[in-house]
Structure 1
Amino acid sequence: MIARTAILVKSEYPRRCIRISPGINRQSHTRESEKCYKSAAVASDCAQCSTVGKHILLEDGNAVDAAIASLLCLGLTDPQSMGLGGGFLMTLFNASTGKSTVIDARETAPAKVADDLFGKNQKMSSRGPLDIGVPGEIKGYWYAHQKYGRLPWAKLFEPAIKMARYGFPVPFGLHRAIEDGEELLCTEPSLKEIFFNKETEKLFRQNEIMHRPQLGETLEIIASEGMENFATGTLMKNMMADLEDIGAIVSKQDLLDYQVLEKKPIETTLDGSLRVLCPPPPSCGVVLSFILNILDGFLLNPNDLASPEARIHMYHRTIEAFKFAYAKRSSLGDEDFVDVKELVANLTSKTYADRMRQLITDNTTHEFPYYSPSFYSPQTSGTSHLSVLDQDGNAVSATSSINWRFGCGLRGRRTGIIWNDHLNDFTAPYTVNKFGLQPNGANFIQPGKRPLSDMSPAIVVGPGNNGSPQVRLVIGAAGATVITCALAWVIAQNISLGKNIKEAIDSYRFYHQLLPPSVTCEEGFDEAVIRGLKLKGHVTSILKRTLSVIQAIDVRDGWIFAESDFRKGGSPDGF
């Protein structure tokens, strides 16, 4: 069980805090104040699912209980990004012991895969049933609950079952995904069945009521049967029938053999007294740690935002840190299959970060070979993130994914599950990219192997009033390959640059993944900074769509501040 220890809080709301009713959906910069709470908070990219988590906490559930219930809800409201057909990474912090852990429920490659399964293509495959990895989502929920949950298992499923059966309003994020995925949703029968509104004879739009009856039945089965008799239960029978119907290579033995892993988090220090906790490889949490280590040595402070010249200087250094970090990302893979110990040790080392920082020249950027990339790795795709802090100070940071929008583009007719396409996250072995880089052998496909993932659910802890560790920040992101630079920028603003969590998340973002060799800035980004970056040799481009979405909970001065990214229309909740 996660322990129960109280968070010290004040008795009045601080000046910049505003109480807002649950369910308000923000799609633009309209709210000037942060949302804050006295005891607990849940931040997801759907207001309804944040409220589900809040109610679980009010019913004496803990952070793990709330996370599972909210993730089940998100499987309905965010089916383009996550669900039972995918997998997740979860970072946990126990307030009473001060200990942390990571639950790895990422997908694995089926036993029948071979490195030449998809031929000599640069992508592992085109979208379809051969992309499906062995899903870990359900077993991951079960593992987390059995070891760390408090409420009865079936209790956590009640909100999602009711939503699936009686309907729920289509949220902004799903509405936008349906618009963007119109061609797929209108041509694939298994998806059209659920995303086509028979009353309007059009694809579902925002706030129209959607039902998911088959998925609701599957949730009822999981709630009642659990996973103890998975091998002979109804869930296994239905999953295998669905997978066989669509031509997947995932077998019954793959589902039985799948193991949820519990790991020690990657840890680095920040700003003197803070510890940043995130998952080890095949997560890119170590890339996030490396960026933060480089930036930490620059001693960032609010003065770095005080003038155009200071901002240009700071943004340039940050972009260079991104580039060095993404060069190292290209050598990562599943630590249970490849030896990445030395690389991880370097990327979490302050000394190594010092050496890389000395290579950053303040007057100019450089061509990509300067950053010494070894290989290239594929671009990953969308996810959904959830942050939870309970009334006892325990925290969960969880990121879940089915990879590309609507996964492999196929839904099981019996289970209602939309299946992942995470085999596309492996690196194809036979190609050299246009920059002359060889493929990342550490991320080649093997049976049972987990693909490289940019998901980096993080928790930042610092010394509490009584000297024991206490949560400072619970944070994570959706956004595929740009997750780590988006997180690093928001964390740096909140920890070092004097911005509250709403200001940090709302601020215009910029990305650099080393390749392609360009700084991508959100539309509206500071024009003076862009001009200054160009003078230092940076190539820039303007982004008119959302690349990353961040959910975070910030604990300051005895208050809990929660923020869901306006870019996906989410909203936090708490009490």
Structure 2
Amino acid sequence: MGFLLFGYDQGVMGSLLTLPTFRNTFESIDTTRYPDRATFQGFVIAIYEIGCLAGALSTMYVGDRIGRRKTIFIGCTIMIVGAIIQASSFSVGQLIVGRIVTGVGNGMNTATVPMWQSECAKSKDRGKLVMIQGALITGGICISYWIDFGFFFIKNSSVSWRFPIAFQIIFPLFILPFILRLPESPRWLLKTGDIQEAARVFSSLDEVPVNDPTIVYEVNEISESLEKERNDATNKSKFGLLFIQGETKNFHRTCLAVWSQIMQQITGINLITYYAGTIFENYIGMSPLNSRILAAANGTEYFIASWIAFYTIERFGRRKLMLFGAAGQAFSMAILTGTTWAASPKNTNNSSAGVAAAVFLFIFNTFFAVGWLGMTWLYPAEITPLNIRAASNGLSTAANWSFNFMVVMITPIAFENIDYYTYTIFAVINLLMVPTVYYFYPETAGRSLEEMDKIFELSNTSTPWDVVKIARELPYESQTREQDIEKASHAMVACDVPLCSTMGKEILQAGGNAADAAITVALCIGSINSHSSGIGGGAIILSKRGSDVISIDAREMAPAGAFKDMYEHEGDGEGIGAGDILSKIGGLSIAIPGELAGLYKLFKTHGSGDLSWAKLIEPVIKLNRDGFECSELLEDVIGKQNMILDLIPSIKSNWDFIFNNKGKTLKQGDWIKRTNYANTLELIAQNGYSPNTTFPWKNYDPKYDIVETHGTAHFSIVDKDDNAISFTTTVNLLFGSMIYDPVTGIILNDEMDDFSRPKLSNAFNLTPSIFNFIKPYRRPLSSMAPTIIINNNKTELVIGAAGGSRITSAILQAIVRIVYGGNNLLEAIGFPRMHHQLIPQHVMIENLTMFDQEFVGVREELEGMGHEFVETGPLTAMNGIRRVEEKLQGVCDWWRKRGEADGY
């Protein structure tokens, strides 16, 4: 409705300028009898844009202070006042004041409505919804043209022009009672810190419960984006933020937003919108009646054509429509140059040329409606970050109105002085817009607003055109999230790494069973997510083949020379206790790896026998030789551990695979090749399992600081014969002991820290136990809990988690949600979790739990009993497979670890 009002205001004056009653009231802008007054007429009409400019600029300061709805409310109120002033005018001065006031209100609305719409809409619907706004602009123009036409027949009464101007009051009167009942922008609410209200709005907009995992993910993604923007914005004013580059590229994005609005105006569209009736009458030579009929018909066709964009915006994207529109507009303006020259009474006075000129005014409108009408109200809101969105939209909208003023102001003057060559200028401008869009404007279709933040963060400041390539090549997160529950009829693999899920599925399709696929998947995860698993670590494997169920304890064991007090007498005692360090980092933290032995036992006991040991390892060897992309997760953990490596240059020199070819630590999208690891896997494939665990003595000496985080992975598999695998693997903390052998490419565990040591808790704050003290060949305490639930010998659920001591409580909560809470697998895995152990004496609760009203109630009850809660980030990452009505459903913790299931 706000943009229907905008369109009406744009079009209403065009046919009033030549009405006798209007010219008699405002003689100083009558160009029919006084052509030399064209400049002043242009000024009076264009002064509206100055008001719009002021209104748009005001939102830079008002928009984020009072919110989107209140800004629109104020804008509509101001427009009502302006319309009353205009409709009651008896002098040009009063008309000018009225147009300025109306413009201020419209400027506030046009800067705010598209931003509000974009912030509330789903990425797949955002373009369509804003295209409806564009269509409503033309709807308003269409209404204004037909009302002007209808009142043209009222002779000798100022009602013929006062009513069309006053009629615009109807639109804001409709908006005002409803606007404050509509939801506020959830992104603005997050910016102001109102997280729970933002979650409720997202819940209403997406029609899902407030504690749905997709809501949790979206709120966290926006919060992370806001945090980055705040870090870039230190000590900057609201206006100053627009001009910083930094990681968020604010200036680059503001320039694109501003220039897109400028390009919309310099297409020449308002040459037609404001002066259609005048052009038909004075420059193509039609009668007053025919000119008004054609102007109204032009507005109607414009309105119909604007709906084309609604159906094509998400299918073809923003760029293609802008390119199509600009090229078509250039062609139309070029034809108009020739046809208006031929139609002019000064030249050939060719009536056929006049008809052709009229037709190409219609054609120009069509191209503009498809490519540029709604696009520039959508695009700036899509590419600017949240913390400057209001300011940037205000500035870009102000640019729109500035150039709108310029075009409307110079159009009468241009026609008066260079006549039909006016069209030539616009033809050239439109032609130049084609390469501008092609080289500088990235595609935004299908992207969340936060995805656009990431695209610009990855771009190079000195080469602004590379953002187009990045947008073209970066995977769509929204498409990944929409997969949510992977469904399959025959078999399913669910793990932390999407590529490994697919690799496991391919083994199953090649005739392998669940155990075969598990070998490939485990080695694949150890290659890509080397920080959390690998043959240098250990595992617990639960395998079901037919009615036979086995558990393989492939955890690490203490070496032969290990003893209970081995960490109490090491180190110089400076700083943090040296013994505490040595159990976590360096050679003395390494336990005898067990994963490879477990995989080989699984192959021998539950393997299909149809695929050889070497055949199962071949895909992983190829993966490491050919290389793979660094993931967002790997970039994050390398960044965390690199500062540890910086403390130990002698160790860091071996970690060649975590650096790119420029010597910088790997970033998302960088290509990784682990040739040495591929060679090791090739030896294992050819020779089978060997228990040799000897490494150079110098690997056992380093001393450095503690890393408080975990390095574990889990995956689940069910094959076509209902065989199942639940497999949890670990190197304990991130990158285990931090010992990386550059010859074999193996990263070794620090599982010795899972043993109890007198007087010291381990990395997960588990208190010492005499039953877990170090002994040669003893396996340490483990919280790994791979789970298979069977009903009547049929696999019902396979589930497991990574997350250290929090694993068991996480799996239990998921099972309780499914069995007793009626949750589906997506809800059980995605919903927030809590955890408690003896020490520390508080309950850890994920800070996502504010979205789960059940959790809020449980927390309040427990706090009433005296329990203390500490909010934390994600506690565990989980995945699982569930059988529902003979179909397999696979879900991975995409929100916490970017996992993804695959099946067939």
Give 1:174 deviation, angstroms.
1.7
* Aligned equivalent of 2:562: 113
Q: Taking structure 1 as reference, are residues 496 and 140 closer, same or farther at Cα in structure 2, changes over 3 Å only?
A: same
Query: Given the alignment of the two structures, is residue 247 of structure 1 paired with residue 708 of structure 2, yes or no?
Result: no
Q: 1:145-197 CA distances to partner (integer Å, 9 max, x unpaired)?
A: 12221210001111111111110112232222112222134453255311011
| 1:202 aligned counterpart, secondary structure | coil
Q: Residue 25 of structure 1 contacts residue 570 of structure 1 at CA under 8 Å; is this kept in 2? A: no
Query: Given the alignment of the two structures, is residue 520 of structure 1 paired with residue 849 of structure 2, yes or no?
Result: no
The structure richer in helix per residue is 2
Matches of 1:384 and 1:165, distance apart in 2: 23
Matches of 2:476 and 2:818, distance apart in 1: 23
Query: Given the alignment of the two structures, is residue 189 of structure 1 paired with residue 652 of structure 2, yes or no?
Result: yes
Q: Taking structure 1 as reference, are residues 27 and 547 closer, same or farther at Cα in structure 2, changes over 3 Å only?
A: farther
Q: 1:462-487 CA distances to partner (integer Å, 9 max, x unpaired)?
A: 12xxxxx1001001110001000011
The structure richer in strand per residue is 1
* Aligned equivalent of 2:590: 132
- Give 2:838's aligned amino acid: L
Q: Taking structure 1 as reference, are residues 437 and 491 closer, same or farther at Cα in structure 2, changes over 3 Å only?
A: closer
| 2:879 aligned counterpart, secondary structure | strand
Q: Taking structure 1 as reference, are residues 443 and 163 closer, same or farther at Cα in structure 2, changes over 3 Å only?
A: same
- Give 1:439's aligned amino acid: P
* Aligned equivalent of 1:217: 679
Matches of 1:216 and 1:206, distance apart in 2: 22
- Give 1:564's aligned amino acid: C
2:887 equivalent among 556, 559, 566:
559
| 2:605 aligned counterpart, secondary structure | helix
Q: Residue 395 of structure 1 contacts residue 474 of structure 1 at CA under 8 Å; is this kept in 2? A: yes
Q: Taking structure 1 as reference, are residues 222 and 30 closer, same or farther at Cα in structure 2, changes over 3 Å only?
A: closer
Q: Taking structure 1 as reference, are residues 540 and 432 closer, same or farther at Cα in structure 2, changes over 3 Å only?
A: closer
Give 1:207 deviation, angstroms.
2.4
2:488 equivalent among 37, 43, 47:
37
- Give 1:161's aligned amino acid: I
Kindly tell me the number of residue pairs found equivalent between the two proteins.
404
Q: 1:521-543 CA distances to partner (integer Å, 9 max, x unpaired)?
A: 21231374343432232211211
- Give 1:148's aligned amino acid: H
| 1:562 aligned counterpart, secondary structure | strand
* Aligned equivalent of 1:307: none
Give 1:126 deviation, angstroms.
4.7
Q: Within 5 A, what are the aligned runs for 1:15-414?
A: 30-31=481-482, 33-95=484-546, 98-119=547-568, 123=580, 125-150=583-608, 151-186=611-646, 187=649, 188-190=651-653, 192-199=655-662, 201-227=663-689, 230=690, 236=692, 240=694, 242-247=695-700, 381-414=710-743
* Aligned equivalent of 1:540: 869
Give 1:383 deviation, angstroms.
0.8
Matches of 1:28 and 1:520, distance apart in 2: 32
User: Any unmatched runs of 5+ in structure 2?
Assistant: 1-473, 570-576, 703-707
Which is bigger in relative contact order (C-alpha 8 A, separation at least 6)?
A: 1
User: Any unmatched runs of 5+ in structure 1?
Assistant: 1-22, 250-378, 464-468
Matches of 1:437 and 1:149, distance apart in 2: 37
Q: Residue 384 of structure 1 contacts residue 477 of structure 1 at CA under 8 Å; is this kept in 2? A: yes
- Give 1:443's aligned amino acid: N
Q: Within 5 A, what are the aligned runs for 1:446-525?
A: 446-463=775-792, 469-525=793-849
Give 1:28 deviation, angstroms.
11
Matches of 1:504 and 1:558, distance apart in 2: 20
Q: Residue 26 of structure 1 contacts residue 569 of structure 1 at CA under 8 Å; is this kept in 2? A: no
- Give 1:475's aligned amino acid: I
Q: CA RMSD in A?
A: 2.6
Matches of 2:739 and 2:828, distance apart in 1: 37
Q: 1:43-99 CA distances to partner (integer Å, 9 max, x unpaired)?
A: 00000000010000000000000001000100111111110111111001123xx22
- Give 1:402's aligned amino acid: V
Q: Taking structure 1 as reference, are residues 177 and 432 closer, same or farther at Cα in structure 2, changes over 3 Å only?
A: closer
| 2:782 aligned counterpart, secondary structure | coil
Matches of 1:52 and 1:29, distance apart in 2: 18
| 1:141 aligned counterpart, secondary structure | helix
Q: Residue 380 of structure 1 contacts residue 454 of structure 1 at CA under 8 Å; is this kept in 2? A: no
Matches of 2:516 and 2:799, distance apart in 1: 18
Matches of 1:128 and 1:110, distance apart in 2: 14
Matches of 2:864 and 2:602, distance apart in 1: 50
Q: Within 5 A, what are the aligned runs for 1:422-461?
A: 422-430=751-759, 439-461=768-790
Q: 1:229-253 CA distances to partner (integer Å, 9 max, x unpaired)?
A: x37xxxx4xx53x34341379xxxx
Q: Residue 542 of structure 2 contacts residue 550 of structure 2 at CA under 8 Å; is this kept in 1? A: yes
Query: Given the alignment of the two structures, is residue 415 of structure 1 paired with residue 878 of structure 2, yes or no?
Result: no
Give 1:119 deviation, angstroms.
1.0
Q: Taking structure 1 as reference, are residues 430 and 215 closer, same or farther at Cα in structure 2, changes over 3 Å only?
A: same
Matches of 2:625 and 2:687, distance apart in 1: 19
- Give 1:49's aligned amino acid: C
Q: Residue 153 of structure 1 contacts residue 223 of structure 1 at CA under 8 Å; is this kept in 2? A: yes
TM-score relative to the length of structure 2: 0.43
Matches of 1:569 and 1:437, distance apart in 2: 28
Q: Taking structure 1 as reference, are residues 167 and 444 closer, same or farther at Cα in structure 2, changes over 3 Å only?
A: same
Matches of 1:556 and 1:24, distance apart in 2: 30
Q: Residue 184 of structure 1 contacts residue 409 of structure 1 at CA under 8 Å; is this kept in 2? A: no
Q: Residue 715 of structure 2 contacts residue 728 of structure 2 at CA under 8 Å; is this kept in 1? A: yes
Give 1:209 deviation, angstroms.
1.1
Matches of 2:802 and 2:478, distance apart in 1: 17
Give 1:33 deviation, angstroms.
4.8
Give 1:562 deviation, angstroms.
0.3
Q: Residue 63 of structure 1 contacts residue 390 of structure 1 at CA under 8 Å; is this kept in 2? A: yes
Matches of 2:661 and 2:897, distance apart in 1: 26
User: What percent identity do the matched residue pairs reach?
Assistant: 35
Higher Rg of the two aligned structures: 2
TM-score relative to the length of structure 1: 0.66
Matches of 1:438 and 1:148, distance apart in 2: 37
Q: Residue 552 of structure 2 contacts residue 602 of structure 2 at CA under 8 Å; is this kept in 1? A: yes
Matches of 1:514 and 1:139, distance apart in 2: 34
Give 1:380 deviation, angstroms.
8.8
Matches of 2:720 and 2:880, distance apart in 1: 16
Give 1:116 deviation, angstroms.
1.8
Matches of 1:548 and 1:191, distance apart in 2: 30
Q: Taking structure 1 as reference, are residues 475 and 76 closer, same or farther at Cα in structure 2, changes over 3 Å only?
A: same
* Aligned equivalent of 2:413: none
* Aligned equivalent of 1:290: none
